C-alpha cells in the first residue's frame, strides 16, 4: 500500500504560511495599530512572499479582519450568582473589553465596514459575514445570561442596545471609562423596566 494522502488532507505548507502571516499581522496590529498592518510589513516580517499572502487573503482588508478576530477574545458569560449580579458582571466585562486599545480599534474599524469606499461585491459580502460573526460572538453571552434573568421572550437586541449602547457612547463619544456605578445604574434601570 502506498503512502497515499487522505483526499481531504491539505498541503501542510498552506497552514504554515497562513499562520506565519497571521501572527505577523497580529503582532503588527498590536504594536502599531491598523496603520502598521501593511502588506509589505507583513510579508517582510513573516518571511512569506507577497504572492503567497495574496493566495490566503485576497485583500489587505481581509487580512486585517482576520488579525482583529485573532485579537478579540470572546467573553465568557458569568454562570453563577443572582441574575442581577450575573448581568452586571457581564456588562462590566464588556465595558472593560471595549475600553482596551485593540477592541477600540477593532470596534471602529468594523463599524466602518461597508461605509462608502467601493470594494467589490465579493469582498463586501465576506466582510459583512465577518461582522455578523463577530457580533454574534458578542451577543451569545448576553443570550445566555438574559435567558436566565428574564422570563418569557427576551428581546436580546433591545437589551443589548440599552446595555451596551451606553458603553459605546462613553468609549467612542465621551472618551471616558464606564465605571462600576455607571454600569450598575444601567443594569438596574434595565431590570426595573422589565
Spell out the SS3 assignment of 161-185: HHHHHHHHHHHHHHCCCCCHHHHHH
Provide the CA 82 distance to its chain's centre, in angstroms.
28
Selected range binding DNA among 38-46, 92-100, 109-117, 166-174, rule: CB under 7 A: 38-46
Residue 128 Cβ vs DNA, minimum distance, rounded to whole Å: 18
| Binding flag, residue 51, a copy of itself (CB under 8 A) | no
Instruction: Give the x/- contact pattern for a copy of itself in 110-129, rule: CB under 8 A.
Output: -xx--xxxx-----------
Q: Are 160 and 187 in contact (CB under 8 A)?
A: no
Selected range binding a copy of itself among 27-35, 38-46, 53-61, 84-92, rule: CB under 8 A: 27-35
- Whichever of 13 and 79 has its CB closer to a copy of itself, that residue is 13
Name the nearest CA neighbour of 28 among 59, 60, 50, 75. 60
Distance between CA 6 and CA 113 in Å, rounded?
A: 39
| Binding flag, residue 55, a copy of itself (CB under 8 A) | no
DSSP states of 56-124 as a string?
H-SSHHHHHHHHHHHH-PPPPPP-SS-HHHHHHHHHHHHHHHHHSHHHHHHHHHHHHTTSSS---HHHH
- Whichever of 42 and 171 has its CB closer to DNA, that residue is 42
Q: Are 60 and 66 in contact (CB under 8 A)?
A: no
- Whichever of 47 and 169 has its CB closer to a copy of itself, that residue is 169
Positions touching DNA (CB under 7 A) are 5, 7, 9-14, 16-18, 20, 38-41, 47-52, 54-56, 58-60
Positions touching a copy of itself (CB under 8 A) are 32-36, 101, 104-105, 107-109, 111-112, 115-118, 131, 135, 157-158, 160-162, 164-170, 172-176, 182, 185-186, 189, 192-193
Amino acid at each position: 500500500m502506498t503512502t497515499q494522502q487522505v483526499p481531504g488532507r491539505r498541503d501542510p505548507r498552506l497552514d504554515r504560511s497562513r499562520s506565519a502571516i497571521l501572527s505577523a499581522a497580529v503582532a503588527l496590529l498590536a504594536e502599531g495599530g491598523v496603520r502598521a498592518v501593511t502588506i509589505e510589513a507583513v510579508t517582510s516580517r513573516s518571511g512569506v512572499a507577497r504572492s503567497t499572502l495574496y493566495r490566503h487573503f485576497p485583500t489587505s482588508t481581509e487580512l486585517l479582519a482576520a488579525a482583529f478576530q485573532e485579537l478579540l477574545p470572546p467573553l465568557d458569560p458569568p454562570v453563577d450568582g443572582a441574575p442581577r449580579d450575573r448581568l452586571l458582571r457581564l456588562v462590566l466585562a464588556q465595558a472593560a473589553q471595549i475600553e482596551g486599545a485593540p477592541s477600540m480599534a477593532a470596534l471602529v474599524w468594523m463599524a466602518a465596514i461597508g461605509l462608502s469606499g467601493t470594494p467589490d461585491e465579493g469582498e463586501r459580502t465576506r466582510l459583512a459575514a465577518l461582522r455578523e460573526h463577530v457580533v454574534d460572538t458578542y451577543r451569545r453571552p448576553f443570550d445566555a445570561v438574559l435567558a436566565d434573568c428574564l422570563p418569557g421572550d427576551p428581546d436580546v437586541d433591545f437589551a443589548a442596545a440599552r446595555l451596551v449602547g451606553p458603553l459605546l457612547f462613553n468609549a467612542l463619544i465621551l472618551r471616558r471609562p464606564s465605571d462600576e456605578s455607571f454600569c450598575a445604574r444601567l443594569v438596574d434601570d434595565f431590570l426595573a423596566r422589565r
